[in-house]
């Protein structure tokens, strides 16, 4: 997507003028004004002081571009994000509601707004992390989400099996910790030091084993991004990563390499499901058998993840009488995963949608935030008018 400020048009106009402050990572803000979406430039991650300053300047510019007064300001559910703090202050200044939108709901709403989907759909939303309504880290979610005018309506249907993040954020930087968590979860914690000690040092491996055994600083997460990390760590593709998604990209590249060398329909060693632990444990035995085995394992992981998600989405679509599936979140930058999901879902008779005019990941999140908030304001206004009319009679 173009990182510069620009404007796009939506198929349906929003019922309220809303400024959204976006995500913490890959931050961009936007103003939804009728059928126009005014995007700020890309600010980057808000842990950086320059990025925070850039967001403040962008918010001023977007307010100046509005064709009338703001009616709401939208932000992420996480209370500690700088973008949340900016939104709360902006709402106070303009004396309008500040509306929190759950991270993965917003990801799915990006596609709903971008594609103008009128009917309810099942959202497969995959990314690194977003705060869930239960206070835990989500990231591998199946959601029911309302169509255009029912955008505020959503509920969580199912999620990937939780994975313990040994050391919290440290687990995202060191994928081997996630592979170790898989062994612990399968009752094989005594294998952590023999398997990973030669790679990271026995003392470090023992520390992680002990943390997992005593559940110390090991918050659970349903994050698809962390499962990609676990698979990459198990295959030895990435033990530590300096850049976000480096492990996932290495895993995708290895899978494409395998598929380019032969047929892609290799038999999975375990059934596809939303619990990838048995497969990741199987991958641990493949890393010492050369690039061909590693590539096959990487392809298996993609096929298992896509198969498990597609089966679950199809099952929920039937139960909810939906025919539309939206694919959203930063993991949808993985072309192989999207191809496999699309194929599985379309073979099952589902219509599959992705965002076209907005980024699939956090750089596009503000559109979903603004869209949900706009229809929330409209619903509240309608409820107030109905109540007033009832009082008159």
Same domain, 142 and 89: no
Look at residue 95 in the predicted model and tell me its pLDDT: 98
CATH code of the domain containing 9: 3.30.420.360
**Would you list the DSSP string of 312-355?**
HHHHHHHHHT--EEEEESGGGG-HHHHHHHHHHHHHTT-EEE--
How many domains is the chain partitioned into structurally?
Answer: 2
pLDDT in tens, 148-185: 989 999 999 999 999 999 999 999 999 999 999 999 99
What are the residues whose beta carbons fall under 8 Å from the beta carbon of 244, sequence distance 6 or more?
25, 128
Same domain assignment for residues 324 and 184: yes
With left for phi above 0 and alpha for psi between -120 and 50, is residue 26 left, alpha or beta? left
pLDDT of residue 214: 97
| Residue whose entry in the numeric block shows the structure tokens 């895993």 | 251
- Summarised one tens digit per residue, pLDDT across range 90-142 is 999 999 999 999 999 999 999 999 999 999 999 999 999 999 999 999 999 99
Is 329 in the same domain as 300?
yes
Q: Are residues 384 and 343 in the same domain?
A: no
Residue 310 lies in a domain: yes
The per-residue pLDDT for 385 is: 60
Q: Which two tokens mark 89? A: 């202050």
Specify if 123 maps to a domain.
yes
Same domain as 156, residue 29: no
**Distance of alpha carbon 105 from alpha carbon 84, whole angstroms:** 16
Same domain, 344 and 368: no
pLDDT of residue 384 exceeding 70, the answer is no
Could you read off the pLDDT of 278-327 as tens digits, one per residue?
Answer: 999 999 999 889 999 999 999 999 999 999 999 999 999 999 999 999 99
What backbone phi and psi angles, to 5 degrees, belong to 159? Answer: -150, 165
Residue 160: predicted pLDDT = 98
Would you say residue 110 lies in a domain? no
Beginning with the edge strand found earlier in the chain, give each strand of the sheet holding 36-39 in spatial order: 6-9, 36-39, 30-33, 18-20, 72-76, 98-101
Q: 62, 94 in Cβ contact below 8 A?
A: no
- Does a structural domain hold residue 107? no
Q: CATH number of the domain that 299 lies in?
A: 3.30.420.40
Pair (294, 175) in one structural domain: yes
- Quote the pLDDT of residue 52: 97
Both 143 and 281 in one domain: the answer is: yes
pLDDT at 24 over 50: yes
- Look at residue 388 and tell me whether its pLDDT is greater than 80: no
Contacts with 275 (C-beta within 8 Å, 6 or more apart), sequence order: 160, 161, 308
Q: How far apart are CA 221 and CA 141, in angstroms?
A: 11
Q: Do residue 145 and residue 18 come from a single domain?
A: no
Q: Evaluate whether residue 152 is within a structural domain.
A: yes
CB 17 within 8 A of CB 380: no
**H or E segment to which residue 17 belongs:** none
Considering all CA atoms of the chain, what is the largest pairwise distance in Å, rounded to the nearest integer?
A: 79
* The predicted structure's pLDDT at residue 35: 96
> With 90 as the cut, is the pLDDT of residue 269 above it?
no
Query: What are 50-95's pLDDT values in tens digits?
Result: 999 999 999 999 999 999 999 999 999 999 999 999 999 999 999 9
Contact 37, 141 (CB under 8 A): no
- Mean pLDDT for the chain? 94
108 falls within a domain: no
Give the integer Cα–Cα distance in Å for 30 and 370. Answer: 8
Give the pLDDT of residue 143.
98
The model's pLDDT over 337-377, given as tens digits with 9 standing for 90+, comes to 999 999 999 999 999 999 999 999 999 999 999 999 999 99
Q: Are residues 251 and 350 in the same domain?
A: yes
In the predicted structure, residue 383 carries a pLDDT above the cut 90: no
Confidence at 233, pLDDT banded by 50, 70, 90: very high
| Confidence at residue 244, expressed as pLDDT on a 0 to 100 scale | 83
Q: Are residues 244 and 348 in the same domain?
A: yes
pLDDT class of 263 with cuts at 50, 70, 90:
low
Please report whether residue 112 resides in a domain.
Answer: no
Per-residue confidence band for 2, with pLDDT thresholds at 50, 70 and 90: very low
Q: What integer pLDDT is reported at residue 272 of this predicted model?
A: 85
Residue 109 domain flag: no
Residues 232 and 276 placed together within one structural domain of the fold: yes
Write out the residue range of the structural domain in which residue 32 sits: 1-101+361-393
Write out the two tokens for 281.
């444990």
């Amino acid at each position: 997507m173009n990182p510069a400020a620009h404007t796009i048009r939506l198929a349906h106009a929003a019922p309220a003028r809303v400024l959204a402050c976006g995500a913490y990572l890959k931050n961009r803000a936007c103003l939804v004004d009728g059928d126009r979406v005014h995007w700020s430039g890309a600010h980057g991650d808000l842990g950086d002081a320059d990025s925070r300053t850039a967001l403040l300047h962008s918010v001023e510019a977007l307010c100046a571009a509005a064709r009338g007064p703001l009616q709401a300001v939208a932000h992420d559910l996480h209370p500690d994000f700088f973008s949340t703090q900016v939104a709360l202050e902006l709402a106070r200044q303009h004396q309008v509601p500040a509306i929190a939108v759950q991270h993965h709901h917003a990801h799915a709403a990006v596609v709903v707004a971008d594609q103008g989907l009128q009917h309810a759909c099942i959202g497969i939303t995959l990314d690194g992390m977003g705060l869930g309504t239960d206070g835990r880290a989500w990231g591998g979610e199946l959601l029911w989400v309302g169509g255009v005018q029912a955008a505020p309506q959503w509920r969580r249907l199912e999620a990937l099996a939780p994975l313990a993040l040994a050391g919290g954020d440290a687990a995202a930087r060191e994928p081997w910790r996630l592979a170790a968590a898989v062994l612990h979860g399968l009752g094989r914690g005594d294998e952590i030091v023999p398997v990973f000690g030669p790679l990271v040092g026995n003392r470090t491996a023992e520390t992680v084993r002990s943390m997992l055994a005593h559940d110390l600083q090991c918050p659970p997460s349903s994050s698809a991004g962390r499962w990609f990390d676990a698979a990459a760590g198990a295959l030895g593709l990435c033990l530590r990563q300096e850049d976000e998604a480096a492990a996932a990209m290495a895993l995708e590249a290895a899978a494409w390499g395998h598929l380019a060398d032969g047929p892609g329909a290799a038999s999975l060693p375990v059934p596809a499901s939303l619990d990838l632990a048995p497969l990741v444990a199987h991958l641990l035995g493949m890393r010492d058998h050369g690039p061909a085995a590693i590539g096959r394992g990487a392809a298996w992981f993609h096929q298992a993840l896509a198969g498990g998600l597609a089966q679950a989405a199809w099952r929920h679509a039937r139960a909810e009488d939906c025919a539309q599936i939206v694919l959203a979140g930063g993991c949808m930058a993985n072309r192989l995963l999207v191809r496999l999901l699309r194929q599985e879902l379309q073979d099952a008779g589902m219509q599959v949608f992705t965002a076209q005019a907005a980024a699939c990941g956090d750089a596009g999140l503000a559109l979903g935030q603004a869209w949900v908030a706009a229809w929330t304001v409209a619903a509240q206004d309608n409820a107030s008018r109905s109540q007033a009319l009832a009082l008159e009679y």
